[in-house]
Copies of this chain bind each other. A is one copy, B any other.
Amino acid sequence: MRLADIPTPALVLDRARLRRNIQAMTERYKKLGVRLRPHLKTSKSVDVARMAVSGHFGGITVSTLKEAEHFAAHGFKDILYAVCIAPGKLDQAAALMKSGVDLTIITDDLDAAKTIAARGKELGVVFSTLVEVDCGEKRSGVPVESDGLLAIAGALHAGPGSCLAGAMVHAGHSYACRSLEAVAEVAETERSTGVRAAERLKAAGLPCETVSIGSTPTALHGKSYDGVTEVRCGVYMFGDLFQSEIGSCGPGDIAVSVISSVIGQRRPENRVLIDAGFLALSKDRSTANTPHDIGFGRVADIGGGLGLGDVTVVGVHQEHGMVEGRTPLPFDKLPVGARVRVLPNHACITSAAYDRYHVIDGSDEVVAVWPRCNGW
C-alpha cells in the first residue's frame, strides 16, 4: 500500500523522523543521567511508546486512565497518570493497581488527598501520590511556599490508603516563550520549584523520592536538572508547526501529517479545496501568535516536501479545508484527486481525530498501521 492509495483523510507518521526525534531526547537524558518518563498523550500508541522507552527505565506518563489501561494491557507497568485525579476515578485506578500496575496519581487539593487516603483503604490499595506544585503557569498545582503543600503531603503520607511519592511540576507556560533563553529561564524555575518542594517536604519530615518535572520545551532547553529525578515530555516525538515556531523542533522534524485529496479548485480565488476539514485537522490555531501564522496547517506535497510554495489551510469546515497560497498556486499540480500532506499546528489534537497511523519510513510505502487509544 502506498500513500497514493490509502483513503483520505488519513494520519501519516514518518517513522524515520519519529526515530530521530526520540533518539535525540533519549541520548540527552542518558547523558544527563536523569530518568526520562515519556508522555504518551500525544501518540497514544503502544508502538510509539516502545520506541520512546527504549534505553530508559520503562516508565511512562499518561493523560487518561484509559491510556493507562491500554498501555498496561501491552506490558507497561510503571505509569504516572499526570492529571489531578477526580475521586470518582479512584476505583478505576485501584483496579489497575490490583492488576499489577505500579500506578502513580497526583493531586493538588487537600480534600481530595484525604479522600484518596480514605478510599485507598476501602479499596485495599495504597495510592502512590505526587503533590502537584505550580511553578508559574497557574493551571494546577499548589504554590511551593504554601501551607497547602505540607498539608496535602501530610495527609497523603498519613494514609492509610495513600503514600507520598514526591512532587510534580509542569511548566506549561514554557509554550508562551518566544526565545530559547526565555525557555531556559522557565526550565530553571520548573527545576528549582521541584527541588524547593522536595526540600520543604523533607524539612517537614516527609518523604520525597520523586521530583518529576517536564514539558517538551523545558526538557529540551534546560541548563541543569540537578535534584530532578524524572522528566516528562511527549510532543517532542512528533513535533508540529507550533513546536517549530517556538524552536522546539525544525520544520524537517515534524513526523506526523494528514494526507488529503484535492476535491475542488477555485482559480479566481487562488484556492483549492481539500477533504481535510476541522474534523481531520482540528480547529487549533496555536500558530496564530507565533512569528508565522500558519492558519490551520501548512500544505506539503505528497512526499512531505514544501515544493508547492508557501501554501496553507486558511479555513476549515467539517470536511472541507480551504487552501490558499501567498503566490499563485500551481493548479496543474493540484487537480481534483491530487494528494497533499498537511503539517499540523498541534500534533496532539490533530492526531486525536484518528484511530490509527499510516506509518511510512523513508519512502511512500505504508510499512505499518499502528492503532491509537482515543477517548475516555
Contacts and interface: CB of A to CB of B under 8 A. Distances in A.
Contacts of A115: 336-337
A13 B375 CA distance: 17
Contacts of A16: none
Given A7-B92, A375-B353, A111 B318 contact: no
A61 to B, nearest CB: 12
Copies of this chain, complex-wide, total 2
B86 A336 contact: yes
Contacts of A85: 263
Contacts of A109: 264-265, 336
Interface string A78-102: 0000011111110010000000000
Interface stretch (A49-57, A189-197, A206-214, A273-281): A273-281
A88 B337 contact: yes
A351 to B, nearest CB: 10
A294 interface: no
Contacts of A279: 348-349, 352
Contacts of A87: 336-337
Contact of A86 (B86, B140, B263, B349): B263
Contacts of A283: 282-285, 349
Nearest to A275: B86
- Give the dominant DSSP class at A's interface: loop
A335 interface: yes
Interface residues of A, number: 59
A147 B280 CA distance: 33
Nearest to A10: B376
A8 B278 CA distance: 24
A322 interface: yes
Contacts of A355: 374-375
Interface of A: 7-10, 41, 63-65, 83-89, 92, 107-109, 111-112, 115, 138-140, 172, 261-266, 269, 273, 275, 278-280, 282-285, 317-320, 322, 335-337, 348-349, 352-355, 374-376
30 contacts: A7-B65, A7-B88, A7-B92, A8-B86, A8-B376, A41-B318, A83-B275, A83-B319, A83-B320, A84-B263, A84-B336, A85-B263, A86-B261, A86-B262, A86-B263, A87-B336, A88-B337, A112-B336, A112-B337, A115-B337, A138-B266, A139-B322, A140-B263, A278-B284, A278-B349, A279-B352, A282-B282, A283-B284, A283-B349, A355-B375
